[in-house]
Chains A and B, each alone.
Chain A
Amino acid sequence: MSEAEAYSYDAEMRKANRAKAVAGRSVIFKIKRCDGPGKPARWESFKVPIEEGANVISSLNWIAANPVTIEGKKTTPVVWESNCLEEVCGACTMVINGRVRQSCSCLINEYAPCEGDVMTLEPMSKFPVIRDLWVDRARLFNNLTRVKAWVPIDGTYNMGPGPKESHDHQQMRYALSECMSCGCCLDACPQFIKEEDESKWDSSFIGAHAISQARYFNEHETGKQLKADRMDALSGAGGINDCGNAQNCVKVCPKGIPLTESIGAIGRSATIHAIKQFFQGKK
């Protein structure tokens, strides 16, 4: 099963729903709401008329214009974050019907084809809620800095053109480059636990996205200059060894990035790194 197939494991169900979608129906949006950090969560439902081609974002837009619950109670507009609206920025990631995914690419026809069907929207479960469906994903980006997920090019002189790269190697790295830091892999991971205490982030499990990005930059001809630093970080607490191999990450990744292959590859790098450290390490 390829990653793409794994991601769309329920593709048949969604395809069938699309075929039987009823025009002019209304769908119930059951939304988990929260007024701010530390405030209690509550559920509110909205009845939304579905237009042709409607997705979760367009439905949330309708709710923002008509913030009245199904009981007829006027409420505040639901807050969410979105940006590109074409599944490449990751900002609108949320938990839809219990599973994490981008809301912009989530077509109502595929999930709620009949009158009165319910769409459940919740904020991502592993990050602190700012308000309603809007979460603070700072830890996700913090974890990219743990593995120095960048290419060191700043210096006092021109480093010149990089070395040539084979086509196959370029293809392999291209797949890894597609990560948009949405956090789906983290939300679905049983080893990635919500942690609001910032001081614990650097020793908590780093997550598949950062492991895969470490591999991406380790494989970059200039980026590999920082490989030892990355492997130091990944060998420690919260690093590669904390992975429990549930392999949910690869199945929920909207970009079909081979995250579990990255985990295996970084595992191999960590093994080699440890052997090198033992026999020739100065530390």
Chain B
Amino acid sequence: MSENADSMQTRHFLLRRLHSLTGIVPIGVFLIVHLTTNSTIAWGGLNTRAQSEGFGWMDRAIATFQHEVEFINNMPLLLLIEITLWAALGFHSVLGVYYAISGKSNTGAYKYSSNFRYALQRITGYFGIFFIFYHVATLRWGWTWLVPGGTKWSHEAASSTFAAAIQGSTDGFTPVGFLVACFYFLGVSALVFHFANGLWTAAITWGITISRPAQKRWGVICAGLGAGLMLMAWMSVIGFATLDYEQASRVEQILHGEQIHLNDEPN
């Protein structure tokens, strides 16, 4: 084999396997952490340590989420972690699209569930890229012109500003805001599927699952993980889409130790 063919072969193998690996580490691991954090808006009420005077279930959830966001914001080398994630996402996306367009789906003729998952893996990939771009651009890079209502997300008022961004205003749903919330719902669903199914195929790619029963067993585990993540993803989106801006804002102010004057509060 010529040297050129050799390096081509090595490069091809490396790129393919790195594509598979980056989907799990760091992207998949981050997805799990991210959804766990975000879903605190739905279950953070369980967190009794977030208790403060007069706090109800939702207040504790808002406080828990705020605490988590600040913890992440205070992590050392945060920018490095972010850049690693963006690079991994960019790499996985570009190669993923390149690989996806090399295939030609045929679910019309061959209606097998695995064939539908093959097609869905690619569709959710395309849609996921679009969603992640919007998500990061609006909330991290501050492209507020893409946010209905123009709310700029702030880590100091994490729940309230995100609720406003996903609802379209600080005063509940606007029609466009509702579309954004639906977009979020579809986006997170697509990405959770993409991760769970990718985890299943990665085990075949790396040669971890070989026999059909092994692939089936691993499939059950991936489906279970996917169902759990899907639940957290939906809880997150629904939690923020139904969050009351005023209430969230009030809790955040308390957490920042600011004096609040309930009587003076504008309605």
Which A residues form the contact surface with B (CB < 8 A)?
2-3, 6, 9, 98-99, 188, 190-191, 193, 205, 232, 235-237, 239, 241-248, 251-252, 258, 260-261, 263-272, 274, 277, 283
A96 to chain B, nearest CB (A): 11
- Is B211's CB under 8 angstroms from A269's CB? no
* Residues of chain A contacted by B204 (CB below 8 angstroms): 243, 245, 260, 263-264, 267
- B207 contacts which of A6, A205, A242, A265 (Cβ < 8 Å)? A265
Interface set, chain B 194-243, CB cutoff 8 A to A: 201, 204-212, 214-215
Q: Does A245 contact B102, Cβ atoms closer than 8 Å?
A: no
B47 beta carbon closer than 8 Å to chain A: no
Q: For A6, A248, A272, which residue has the most chain B Cβ atoms within 10 angstroms? A: A248
* Chain A nearest Cβ from B122, distance in angstroms: 8
Chain B: how many interface residues by the 8 Å CB criterion?
A: 38
Nearest Cβ distance between residue A265 and chain B, in whole angstroms?
Answer: 5
CA distance A9 to B111 in the complex (A): 10
Are the CB atoms of B16 and A258 closer together than 8 Å? no
Q: Specify which of A236, A243, A271 is in contact with B8 (CB 8 Å cutoff).
A: A236
Assuming A205-B102, A236-B8, what are 4 further A-B pairs, CB within 8 angstroms?
Answer: A188-B109, A191-B103, A245-B204, A264-B209
Q: How far is the CA of A248 from the CA of B112 in the complex (A)?
A: 7
Report the minimal beta-carbon distance from B8 to chain A, rounded to whole angstroms.
7
Asked whether, in the complex, the Cβ of A190 is within 8 Å of the Cβ of B103, the reply is: yes
* Alpha-carbon distance A193/B102, docked complex (angstroms): 8
Chain B residues with CB under 8 Å of A190's CB are: 103-106, 115, 118-119
Interface presence of B140 (CB below 8 A): no
Verify A232–B207 contact, CB threshold 8 A. Answer: no
Contacts of B34 in A (CB 8 A): none
Select one of A9, A241, A245 contacting B16, CB under 8 A.
A241
With both beta carbons as reference points, the residue of chain B lying nearest to A268 in the complex is identified as B207
Question: Can you list 28 residue pairs at the A/B interface with Cβ under 8 Å?
Answer: A98-B108, A98-B109, A190-B103, A190-B115, A193-B102, A205-B102, A236-B8, A237-B12, A244-B201, A245-B114, A245-B118, A245-B201, A245-B205, A247-B118, A248-B110, A248-B114, A248-B115, A251-B110, A251-B114, A258-B212, A263-B204, A264-B211, A264-B215, A267-B204, A268-B207, A270-B207, A271-B17, A277-B10
> Given A235-B13, A236-B13, are A244 and B206 also a contact pair (CB < 8 Å)?
no
Query: Whole-angstrom distance between the alpha carbons of A205 and B104 in the complex?
Result: 12
The residues of B that contact A264 with a CB separation of less than 8 Å are 204, 207, 209-211, 214-215
Is A247 within 8 A of B112, CB to CB?
yes
Which listed residue, A193, A237, A241, A266, touches B17 by the CB 8 Å rule? A241
- B109–A99 touching, CB < 8 Å: yes
Residues in chain B within 8 A of chain A (CB atoms)? 1, 5-6, 8-10, 12-13, 16-17, 99, 102-106, 108-110, 112, 114-115, 117-119, 121, 201, 204-212, 214-215
Contacts of A241 in B (CB 8 A): 12-13, 16-17, 205
Q: Are B209 and A283 in contact (CB under 8 A)?
A: no
What's the nearest-Cβ distance from chain B to residue A14, in Å? 16
Whether A244 and B103, one on each chain, are in contact in the complex, defined by CB atoms closer than 8 angstroms, is: yes
With a cutoff of 8 Å between Cβ atoms, the chain B residues found around residue A99 in the complex are: 109-110
User: Known contacts A188-B110, A269-B207: does B115 contact A274 (CB below 8 Å)?
Assistant: no
Contact A268 B208 (CB under 8 A): yes
Chain A positions within 8 Å of B16 at CB level = 241-242
For the complex formed, measure the closest distance between the CB of B137 and the CB atoms of chain A, giving whole angstroms. 30
**A236 and B106 within 8 A (CB):** no
Q: Closest residue to A9 on the B side, CB-wise?
A: B112
Determine the chain A residues whose CB is within 8 A of the CB of B108 once the complex forms: 98
Residues of chain B lying within 8 A (CB to CB) of residue A235: 9-10, 12-13
Tell me which residues across on chain A come within 8 A of B201, comparing CB atoms: 244-245
> How many angstroms from the CA of A3 to the CA of B213 in the assembled complex?
12
Docked CA distance A205–B99 (Å): 11
CB–CB B207/A191 < 8 A: no
By a CB distance below 8 angstroms, the chain A residues around B211 are 261, 264
CB distance from B156 to the nearest CB of A (A): 44
**Per a CB cutoff under 8 Å, which of B10, B17, B115, B206 touches A246?**
B115
Closest-by-CB residue of B relative to A238 is: B12
Q: How far is the CB of B2 from chain A (nearest CB, A)?
A: 11
Contact B114 A247 (CB under 8 A): yes
Between A244, A248, A271, A283, the greatest number of chain B beta carbons within 10 A of the residue's beta carbon is seen for A244
Instruction: Point out which of B13, B102, B105, B214 has the most chain A C-beta atoms below 10 A from its C-beta.
Output: B13
